[in-house]
Amino acid sequence: MSIHNDYLFIGIIRDVRQRMPGMEANFVPLRETVELLKSNAIELDLGLVGEEEALDFLERAPLAWDNTVNKTFRVKESIQPLQNAMVDFIKRDIADYVSRVKLAHREFRDAQHGPFTWPSDRIKDAYESMDKTYAKMKVLEAEAESFKNLQELFELNKIKAPELVTLRTELKLLKQVWDCVGVVESLFGSWSDTLWLDIRPDDLVDECKKLATHVKRLPRRLRDWPCYLRLQGSVANMASILPLVSELRSPCMRDRHWKAVASECHKPVDKGPGFCLADLLKLQLHEHVEGIMEIVEVAQKENKVEQKLKQIEKFWGVAVLEMARHKDTEVQVIVSPDDLIETLDEHNIQLQSMAAMGRGPVGEAPITVGAVLHSWNEDQVDGVVVVGPWGCGPSLVAESLLRQRTDIPSLFLYRDGTPSDGRKLDGFAFRLRRALD
């Protein structure tokens, strides 16, 4: 008996075994239906089954089926030794197959640069890895299908390789993650080249919120995978950066504040004509949220102070002061109307309030320091000479504050009633001219 015939017989045995429950259950209803029709004098013309009347065939069908089953099992007994030998080979093949499935799944999960991680800056690498694994999985699934046929032929237990199902499920989930990564990276990449003046933070924030919602809706099963965590982090970082971009676009920000931003982020900032969102992203602003917000807050406060100082300076720049002799002396004193005195008191209160906001000194020192800083920031002066009475407290406070601004050339002179030493002023002017040249 050839192997081909053995497989043919085993296939027939399987078919008979699978048909047994249904065939035996159908004979009784068929017989009862025919008898019911006959009892009601209903003529039946069912035609022929082969060369035999259908009714006669139904009468002897149960016996014919029983003979077929008996003959099948006699043949099965005759080829049982050969079948047992083949079963041993099949079981070994199945065991080897199960091991290969487990190995394929383990290698896929543990790959150092596989799609479960973030293999590189190229999304293409992740898809290539998934494509290779998918091709390998299809081969394994085809093998599983062939083993399924053998299991039915030789009455073996179903193959147990849950890793194959897991592999297919994980590939589907990874596809969702990396499709989302592609959308995020593409969108963020299109934003990166936007020039500083063209950035519309509010619109970008809305888009980022939509992306964050989409990421959150991905299946829970993949939320501890490194690729998902990095995707989530990328969107979260952008969601933190965009509000800071909006704050940094404040008109209150000056060059000194941008220098503070560079110092906070420990990276240079070149705010030239080509300055764009990509330059800000390189600063990793999401790691310095509190520091950046503090810088912006300081800039806003300083701007308020500058605006107030300009108003005060403008008022007193055009204010008309009347002079008159003081009683019987030759000393000239200011004679001012009451409204001017009221304005002076109001401005003094405002200056004290500004100093309090900045935690600075009160009195004359804020006026001195504020006037110097304002003139310097407006590029109105090349250097500063501060003159005050000898031992004057506010003058000493102003000096201590201004000396901290090493970028402002300064000279401090104190009058004690003796003639001034013009050499100090000449030397300061000479050094200043040489520095400018």
| 78-112 pLDDT, tens digit each | 666 666 667 777 788 888 888 899 998 888 888 87
426 burial (CB, 10 Å; 0-12 / 13-18 / 19+) is exposed
- Cα separation of 120 and 111, whole Å? 13
How far are the Cα atoms of 176, 308, 432 from residue 314, in angstroms, in the given order?
64, 10, 28
- Cα separation of 351 and 379, whole Å? 22
302 burial (CB, 10 Å; 0-12 / 13-18 / 19+) is buried
DSSP bridge partners of 144 = none
Sign of torsion, CA 400 404 408 409? positive
Res. 174 pLDDT band, cuts 50 70 90: very high
How far are the Cα atoms of 199, 395, 402, 415 from residue 419, in angstroms, in the given order?
60, 19, 25, 8
Task: At 100, list the tokens.
Answer: 């290969």
Stronger pLDDT, 196 or 366, i.e. the higher one:
196
CA angle 309, 315, 320 (to 5 degrees): 145
How far are the Cα atoms of 140, 204, 267, 269, 343 from residue 283, in angstroms, in the given order?
48, 18, 6, 8, 46
Per-residue pLDDT at 326? 60
Least confident among 215-224, 364-373, 385-394: 364-373
* Crossing angle (nearest 10°) for helices 201-216 and 162-192: 180
Phi first, then psi: what are they for 52, rounded to 5°? -120, 145
How far are the Cα atoms of 1, 267, 405 from residue 288, in angstroms, in the given order?
82, 12, 25
Least confident among 31-40, 192-201, 399-408, 428-437: 399-408
Least confident among 142-151, 199-208, 266-275, 314-323: 314-323
| 219-277 pLDDT, tens digit each | 999 889 989 999 999 999 999 999 999 999 988 898 888 999 999 999 999 888 899 99
Query: Around 432, how many Cα atoms within 13 Å sit in the side-chain half-sphere?
Result: 16
